[in-house]
Structure 1
Amino acid sequence: MRGRMIKTKNVLGFESSWTYWTLFFLCALVPLPVRAEITCASCFAPIRRAAFVSRDFGSAPDGSTDKNWKWRLDGDQLSPEAHEKSPSVSWIEKLQNANISRAERTSPAEEKDGKVYPTSSPEEPKVNRREKRSLFPPESAAGSRFEFRRTGGVDGTGKSPRQNEPHLITSTFALSADSAHNQAMVLWSGPNSSVILILTKLFDFNLGTVTESSLWRSVDFGTTYEKLTDKVMIRTMLSYLYVCPTNKRKILILSDPEVESSLLISSDEGATFQKFNINFYIMSLLFHPTQENWILAYSHDQRLYSSVDFGKKWILVHERVTPGRFYWALNGLDKEADLVHIEARTDNGQMQYITCRAQKCSEEGRQYPFSGRIDTNSLVVQDQYIFLQLTTAGRTMYFVSYQRGPFRTIQLPKYCLPKDMHIVSTDEGQVLAAVQEWNENDTYSLYISDTPGVYFTRSLPNLHTFRSLTGNLIVDVYKVAGVSGLIIANKKEDSQMRTYITYNKGQTWSLLQPPVKDTTGHDINCNLPSCSLHLLLQMSENPYTPDTISTKHSAPGIIVATGNIGPELSFSNTGMFISSDAGNTWRKIFEEEHGVWFLDHGGALLAVTQSAVPTRHLWISLDEGRKWDKLSFSSTPLFVDGVLMTPETENHIITFFGHFNYHSDWQLIKIDYSSLFGRKCTDGDFQTWHLHNKGEVCVMGERQVYMKRKPGTRCTLGREYSRVVSAEPCICTLYDFECDYGFERQASGKCAPAFWYDVNLPAHTCSHGQHYRNSTGYRQVLLNNCREGLKDTLSPKMQQCKPIAPNGLQLSTINSQLTAVLGTNITFRVALQNVSQQVHRHTNLHVDFGDGISVSYSNISRLGDSITHMYRVAGIFRVTARAQNSQGSDSSFLYLHITSPVERIFLSAPVVVIRGNEANLTAVLWPSQPRTATFYWWFSNSTEPLITLEGSISYTFTREGPNSVTVQVSTGGTVLQDVKIITVKDFFRSLLLSFSPNLEEHNPSIAEWRQDVGRVVRATLSQVCGFPEDQMLVSVFPGSPTAAELFILPKTNQSEFRSHTEEQLDKVFMNALNQNLIHFDLKPDTRVTVSVSQLTLAVFLKRSCSHMIS
């Protein structure tokens, strides 16, 4: 799981659910940092020229050339498969466009005069294997000598093994020529081919160019190689090597553009090449997922080109394209196969999402699926989903398109307040995302969406994350291959990191059961929950070394991982562990870290030590790691730098890369392990295996039975192997369902509404006479196949729609600005919240631009962004929009300025004031603008503002009831506004309230949170005390500790406040508060109690309440 973060911005909360977010203390604004990108597991990294891992040759003290590797990273790179998802990556995908390198080790030959000469340099920066053309370079390539050697047993004598003993057939090829070359790339042509290509080159870091290069080709799985450079590529400096992912016979090689900008193209696996000159400098390539001749090329000057003849001819697609944010169309989703999704900067300087045909991307052929600008590095096109991000006034909103439909706003829990989002996966028809909440710093929370990717619920908080040296976000989440719903994650608890596992897609998590015995058969003293097994979940940056955790679709239930036993995850003193039953039980197989690979679809396991010492042995297990055979692959100990795995074919060949000692050439040892299997498997070689979760046989709503090869059976599955799975549905239980949006899992296992979620508000919209599915608080886990049981009870219920009036009318300009230059066209956007398209179609809209001109529309749904107007004179105009249908109406307005920017304005005002008394109103700005801003004040429906140069005024309200106050600030061409509703009464009573201390740690210090807490307290007081809710107001103050004031209001036109006497009020409210009867559940495990601090009587005090709206 990788990502990149470049910028940080400030986030401030919204004042309401669809306007600006605010985060205020009374006299200061405290911004929260947010990321300006959406990242994902398959996103590209920023690209620069000359990006590769390389080596330098140094001098040893004796003056000889040091041929060991010194790591440098000169940039980030991009592979043509970068759009594909991880971690399920085939070996052939890993091999394409990858460099191999010599490990930084000190051999015995380096020890002289009692001293060891250092040959290694700082550790290689980690670079995502999906973000590079090449990864690891070899010391040399070429050579004509090779030898065959048959080995068996552990002594390496070459004696023929007994018939029933596992044995290997090996051959060695030494790359003796071109020994000065410091980079190399290796690729296997394809799963049905024996062709291997190796490109070696000498890159001069001082000159910044390739000075020598050689291309070698093998047609016998690496037994021998032929040098092609001198025959077909004389005086051409080769730079990068690519293979077409849909036709592995097609090869494309880039020359070094510092010498010559050209391409070498082969259609016969490198047997012959044609050379084509190009007039631009290719930084990266992206092949079409189905069309073998279609390629996108990204240049060093941010231009995107396309070719439909495998690179022979190119045309420009678009300029100013964001690195790595371009995508081919997907079959079945996009209308045209040659459609390209692009994030690019347009002529107006804004970043936009653009689609067009690859060969017809003129302005006339471009489409803009998302109107308006987007954030840089936010476009992600992955499977059925498209993600975008837009930051306005410091608040970031995320959008998703499902199956290329219209974009919808992603709905996270209300007080998640995300600072960053990382897309983990989008397979299985839903989105798995890591979200950094407002109160998380070095951790993220795991969220799971519904099928359209709109509504997200939290599955696991405090995920362990870190950033690689190149800035990629690493999220410790691993989806186990072959078993649906099985996820392993590392969670941070206080200062410890611990490994958890779920069998039901995140509904319940548990620690891993530690092994019972160690590798010597002694008991392990480790008991849950204080001690458990912990695993490293890192994907390897090197395609020639395995991940720290490995699973395979064809070997369901087998998990091999690096980890440790104890109270927390450790990155040292790790060993190797295996589970044969999908993580229920574990066995320790090695005391030290090893590289472990699956052979023959998981029928055998290969292990090689990863210690910094040479070895001539490897380990083979044919019974899922219960017994290991130590076999020799070389008569001379080898420093193993990488293992090249062939695709799963009947050839059963692997290749070891490494070196014998300090001065030796690069060695390629080909190993044929086909003799491990005596025959092809038959029906009698398989056994059934029942998936379970700690004894519970119903997993993901099914009793799942797998057919697995019997441990120890020496038979090969072959290419035609397909695992057989039978499944019998189970009766639905509570944990076959996840909590729906707005609901949280309680300790009892039931889902209850979150404190902020109002279940009385319609969660769905439809037209009168129709029906909709109303949530019960649960939604069935995706791919869970349970039946009956609680399914009818927990499934959504059909409910008839009620007539709906226009609601939540929003009026804004398309760029969300309240200022414009005179004489320019201004586009207005009008939207209704929580209503269906049917309501839109039957709703009329009238817009008054405030300058004597107005327009009317009979169908809001057809408007789009077509409401435009040009003002002829400068000034401030009140633009009003009114939507109306047979059920009612709604209106919205804004004040538009036609003529030093501020980021935020907050109106601090009383909640309740005494009629006839002065009230103090203060506009707080962020950042502060002393004597540079003009303030405009509107009271109720006044059309003429009160203008001040100070941010504070006193005003006397004369009309009883709710009075609106609108304030705008104008400075530096920027205009912002805030609105408050103030209740005006002749008299009122008030109580000062306090809260139990456990509320403080959950206070994000934003106005909307305080409003919700006030609403919940008011409703609770009304229910417990029997006092009308419309005669109470609760204002929660900013700051800490959290406090509030309860205002008890008289009825309208009531001359005597004696419907409840003072004594009665004291008795009712004081008793309820003093007896702890007023409380609410902030979270499933957090109950907050409200108590009284002080009683006041405003009618006698004759004062305006000094406590401000927050």
Structure 2
Amino acid sequence: MGSLSLAWVGDKSGVVLVLTTFQVPFFLMRFGQSNLYRSEDYGKTFKDVTHVINHTFIQTEFGIAISPDHSGKVILTGDVSEYGGFRLFRSRDFGLTFEPTDLPFVPLIQMLYNPRDCNTLLTLSFTVLDLWLSEDFGATWRKIHKSVCLVRWGPRNSIYFTTITNGTCNDKGMLDLKKTIDYGKTFRTVASRVYSFVLGGKFVFSSIMTGARVIHISVDGGEHWNIAQLPAVDHQRFYSILTANEDMIFMHVDDPGDSGVGTIYVSDDRGTVFSKSLERHLYTTTGSETDFTAVSSLKGVYMTSILTEDGTLETVITYDQGAKWQPLRRPQNSNCDTETSTNRPNRRCLSFFHSANFTYMPRTAPRHTASLLSLSTGSVGDSESSLPPDVFVSDDGGYSWLQALKGPHHYAILDSGGLLVAVEHTDLPINQIKFSTDEGQCWHTFNFTNDPLYFSGMDSEPGARSTNVSLWGHRNDHTKWVVITVDFRKLLTRDCEYRDYEEWLAHSADPSGSNIGCVMGYKETFLRLRKDSVCWNGRDFAVTKKQTRCPCSVADYYCDFGYYRPENSSECVEQEEMISRALEFCLNGTTEQLQTTGYRKIPGNQCEGGFQPERKEIDLQRLCTSDALLPKTQVSFSYTAITVVVVMAILLMSAIAGVWLVKKYVCGGRFLVHRYSVMREQVEANKIEGVDDVDTNYMETEKTHFNDDSDQDLLE
């Protein structure tokens, strides 16, 4: 029942906190012991500082809550139930000292920092599910709402949460979605009959019960809603939001029959009209596992897995936000027998790179840096082979791959891509770490200890700028944790100079050779480190790049609503079920007719001139009514009697005027809808494109910059 949690505190501070916890369940209670250790030299040495938290037991699920603003704020939630409750230990000096504060409630989840003001915190209380807020870094608390199921910080200090009037949080489809922009002084109900909600990019998603679950999308914080429009989809299938950014949304829709595969659809910039992007997308029947991941070095680049017609897993990649997908190119130094694969059509050389969501060992997610370097675990073989996973590296955003290491490994990227480190995954004790200074072409080994340890995990400072990596585990006696930090700074003996870098045109490795470098409407040139340069990029290293816009071409467009691209084709053709049918959809309460030649511009694409297909949305002046959302405003503070009378008079006059205006000019408050089942969060280091977890049965705590094993994605 022992666990270890390691957290980096601040940026460039060198402070690492380690919390070890031993707990034993006893009937409905847990008893345990915690120890806190602190390092000021990136984990090379540690001091036992358990006394600064008065030897208080810290439950594992609360862990170490680090503020996302790198200001040195730390919160530990201590269990002092033998004295009547829980106690916060708050630090503003990178964990050097802690101030205890007794909580007036029993917390259910870890403290949630406001990303814009880390002195402001949110949490839920146990049993009664009250929503509590603190504006002074946890010193004092006030209850701002009762019966809250799920809460999330929104943009500009807003708070979104679902609440129940009667029943329990398990009564999905009976919840209200509320919003406050003044820290709980006033509330507005922005949706009723809510099953779940999600925040992602500029979008708010709300799943509404109208006989089935119906997804509404808002781009203005819940003030106005539209319905996701997907052509010819059975409304009872499983749905999932894969990711959402400021431009658009990726949504998975299951095929009929609970097959574990489905189709990815991509939205317009309103998040309303969707087009087919990728078929046979793998999403396991448990509804929680997918390989969909963003490659952070280049905008619009995503990788995911499909299940081929012969039942084989294969990884595909897109460079233009899902307009076109292609299989990963086979690594040149892989062992796949291409001649045999050619002679036997049912044996094709496929690449399958799996992320942390699958059960392959080690559970290490793909790693990326802004320097175009990517690391991933995967297998290369034909449709009949079963090979153990190896480690592969790409230095051009995923166009080409190199088999870097044989067998499964845990790995990390250091010094902004100038250094790669890896530890072999094995059940035996280890004492070696592997490292590479040329982007994985050559590897060297270093004995980091004379007394091998059973490896449990590795971690490096978030941001991939450090040259330190910490490894932890235990030795044969199993009596204590061991943390060993290796500093590679002495290996990189000189600072990098201008001559150590070279210009590189992104997407120039595209084998199609069409309009080389022009992707998402622009060419992007990077200044990146040469492979033969062994030098230190430094903590202040920033990727240098310049952009040039390109003329528009067919590649800058999605297939429009009701159209798709056949395999190995760049042209958009009409879907069979949509032929001779009017393309109509509901938008902002009126029926719109789409007149299109089959193309709509990719959201975020920056091309100019060139190919400009005709596209019109015509208002048919026909109402499309939906009562799925019943927004209403609630005010939590009281006024004097005179103020109440004045306000009521104003509201009455406004209502009369509003009714007259609606009858005369407006079509009515109707909303667009599309049914779906599940939304899913994919958060990457507090910042990547993604959406929040909406499972109200299991409210997962946001642990900013907190890693309890080596498989967390450390890059921001």
Question: Residue 126 of structure 2 is aligned with which of 256, 278, 300?
Answer: 300
Question: Residue 200 of structure 2 is aligned with which of 359, 378, 382?
Answer: 382
Question: Residue 107 of structure 2 is aligned with which of 282, 300, 312?
Answer: 282
Q: In structure 2, do the counterparts of structure 1 residues 587 and 812 end up closer, same or farther at CA, with 3 Å as the change threshold?
A: closer
- Corresponding position of 2:316: 500
Question: Residue 35 of structure 2 is aligned with which of 204, 214, 218?
Answer: 214
Hey, what's the Cα distance between the residues in 1 that align with 2:50 and 2:658? 72
- Corresponding position of 2:456: 641
Q: In structure 2, do the counterparts of structure 1 residues 568 and 781 end up closer, same or farther at CA, with 3 Å as the change threshold?
A: farther
Hey, what's the Cα distance between the residues in 1 that align with 2:202 and 2:462? 28
- Partner-residue secondary structure (3-state), 1:859: helix
Q: In structure 2, do the counterparts of structure 1 residues 366 and 671 end up closer, same or farther at CA, with 3 Å as the change threshold?
A: same
- Corresponding position of 1:775: 596
Question: Residue 574 of structure 1 is aligned with which of 355, 375, 389?
Answer: 389
Name stretches of at least 5 consecutive residues in structure 1 with no aligned partner.
1-54, 56-181, 332-336, 816-841, 846-855, 866-1110
Contact 1:512–1:532 (8 Å) recurs in 2 = no
- Partner-residue secondary structure (3-state), 1:779: strand
- Corresponding position of 2:351: 534
- Partner-residue secondary structure (3-state), 1:368: strand
Q: In structure 2, do the counterparts of structure 1 residues 493 and 661 end up closer, same or farther at CA, with 3 Å as the change threshold?
A: same
Does residue 250 (structure 1) correspond to residue 73 (structure 2)? The answer is: yes
Hey, what's the Cα distance between the residues in 1 that align with 2:551 and 2:320? 15
How far off is 1:809 after superposition? 6.2
- Corresponding position of 1:201: 21
Deviations 1:536-575 (A, max 9, x none): 3322799x9772422212x21x332222222349775222
Hey, what's the Cα distance between the residues in 2 that align with 1:756 and 1:189? 56
- Corresponding position of 1:391: 209
Contact 2:130–2:147 (8 Å) recurs in 1 = yes
- Corresponding position of 1:911: none
The number of residues matched between the two structures is: 618
- Corresponding position of 2:606: 785
TM-score, length-normalised on structure 1? 0.52
Q: In structure 2, do the counterparts of structure 1 residues 720 and 228 end up closer, same or farther at CA, with 3 Å as the change threshold?
A: closer
Contact 1:421–1:436 (8 Å) recurs in 2 = yes
How far off is 1:754 after superposition? 2.8
How far off is 1:421 after superposition? 2.0
Question: Residue 401 of structure 1 is aligned with which of 194, 202, 218?
Answer: 218
How far off is 1:782 after superposition? 2.5
- Corresponding position of 2:491: 676
One-letter amino acid of the structure 1 residue matched with residue 320 of structure 2: N
Hey, what's the Cα distance between the residues in 1 that align with 2:233 and 2:5? 49
- Partner-residue secondary structure (3-state), 2:666: helix
Q: In structure 2, do the counterparts of structure 1 residues 440 and 461 end up closer, same or farther at CA, with 3 Å as the change threshold?
A: farther
Matches within 5 A, 1:736-751: 736-746=556-566, 748-751=569-572
Hey, what's the Cα distance between the residues in 2 that align with 1:764 and 1:857? 19
- Partner-residue secondary structure (3-state), 1:188: strand
* Range with bigger deviation, 627-636 or 688-697: 688-697
Hey, what's the Cα distance between the residues in 2 that align with 1:357 and 1:732? 41
Hey, what's the Cα distance between the residues in 1 that align with 2:293 and 2:574? 30
Contact 1:648–1:719 (8 Å) recurs in 2 = no
Contact 2:413–2:464 (8 Å) recurs in 1 = no
Name stretches of at least 5 consecutive residues in structure 2 with no aligned partner.
169-173, 631-656, 671-716
Contact 1:209–1:256 (8 Å) recurs in 2 = no
Matches within 5 A, 1:634-1033: 634-648=449-463, 652-663=467-478, 665-690=480-505, 691-692=507-508, 693-696=510-513, 697=516, 698-746=518-566, 748-757=569-578, 760=582, 774-790=595-611, 792=612, 794-796=613-615, 807-808=622-623, 810=625, 858-859=663-664, 861=666
Question: Residue 484 of structure 1 is aligned with which of 295, 299, 306?
Answer: 299
How far off is 1:534 after superposition? 2.0
How far off is 1:695 after superposition? 4.6
The alignment's C-alpha RMSD in Å is 3.5
Hey, what's the Cα distance between the residues in 1 that align with 2:464 and 2:235? 50
Q: In structure 2, do the counterparts of structure 1 residues 270 and 571 end up closer, same or farther at CA, with 3 Å as the change threshold?
A: farther
- Partner-residue secondary structure (3-state), 1:390: strand
How far off is 1:648 after superposition? 4.8
Contact 2:11–2:70 (8 Å) recurs in 1 = no
- Partner-residue secondary structure (3-state), 2:407: coil
- Partner-residue secondary structure (3-state), 1:607: strand
Contact 2:178–2:187 (8 Å) recurs in 1 = yes
One-letter amino acid of the structure 2 residue matched with residue 700 of structure 1: M
How far off is 1:688 after superposition? 2.1
Contact 1:190–1:249 (8 Å) recurs in 2 = yes
Hey, what's the Cα distance between the residues in 2 that align with 1:736 and 1:599? 35
How far off is 1:254 after superposition? 1.1
Does residue 513 (structure 1) correspond to residue 346 (structure 2)? The answer is: no
Hey, what's the Cα distance between the residues in 1 that align with 2:606 and 2:598? 19
Hey, what's the Cα distance between the residues in 2 that align with 1:745 and 1:669? 52
Larger RCO of the pair (alpha carbons < 8 Å, separation 6+):
2
Hey, what's the Cα distance between the residues in 2 that align with 1:569 and 1:778? 39
Q: In structure 2, do the counterparts of structure 1 residues 509 and 779 end up closer, same or farther at CA, with 3 Å as the change threshold?
A: same
Q: In structure 2, do the counterparts of structure 1 residues 540 and 720 end up closer, same or farther at CA, with 3 Å as the change threshold?
A: farther
- Corresponding position of 2:642: none
Contact 1:534–1:569 (8 Å) recurs in 2 = no
Hey, what's the Cα distance between the residues in 2 that align with 1:844 and 1:277? 52
- Corresponding position of 1:241: 64
Q: In structure 2, do the counterparts of structure 1 residues 863 and 274 end up closer, same or farther at CA, with 3 Å as the change threshold?
A: same
- Corresponding position of 2:711: none
- Partner-residue secondary structure (3-state), 1:584: coil
Does residue 186 (structure 1) correspond to residue 1 (structure 2)? The answer is: no
- Partner-residue secondary structure (3-state), 2:140: coil
Deviations 1:293-335 (A, max 9, x none): 111111222221111111111111222222xx3112313xxxx
Contact 2:88–2:101 (8 Å) recurs in 1 = yes
How far off is 1:436 after superposition? 1.8
Question: Residue 430 of structure 1 is aligned with which of 219, 242, 248?
Answer: 248
How far off is 1:476 after superposition? 1.9
How far off is 1:598 after superposition? 0.9
- Partner-residue secondary structure (3-state), 1:369: strand
> How many percent identity over aligned positions?
23
Q: In structure 2, do the counterparts of structure 1 residues 293 and 526 end up closer, same or farther at CA, with 3 Å as the change threshold?
A: farther
- Corresponding position of 2:368: 551
Q: In structure 2, do the counterparts of structure 1 residues 306 and 538 end up closer, same or farther at CA, with 3 Å as the change threshold?
A: same
Contact 1:600–1:717 (8 Å) recurs in 2 = yes
How far off is 1:531 after superposition? 2.2
Does residue 311 (structure 1) correspond to residue 135 (structure 2)? The answer is: no
- Corresponding position of 2:177: 353
Hey, what's the Cα distance between the residues in 1 that align with 2:390 and 2:488? 26
One-letter amino acid of the structure 1 residue matched with residue 69 of structure 2: T
Computing the radius of gyration over CA atoms, which structure comes out larger, 1 or 2?
A: 1
How far off is 1:729 after superposition? 3.5
How far off is 1:576 after superposition? 1.9
Q: In structure 2, do the counterparts of structure 1 residues 351 and 649 end up closer, same or farther at CA, with 3 Å as the change threshold?
A: closer
Contact 1:540–1:546 (8 Å) recurs in 2 = yes
- Partner-residue secondary structure (3-state), 1:256: strand
Hey, what's the Cα distance between the residues in 2 that align with 1:863 and 1:517? 63
Contact 2:74–2:95 (8 Å) recurs in 1 = yes
Deviations 1:213-241 (A, max 9, x none): 222222232233333333x4446333343
Q: In structure 2, do the counterparts of structure 1 residues 464 and 623 end up closer, same or farther at CA, with 3 Å as the change threshold?
A: same
Deviations 1:444-500 (A, max 9, x none): 321111011001111112211226xxx661112122121223222211124222222
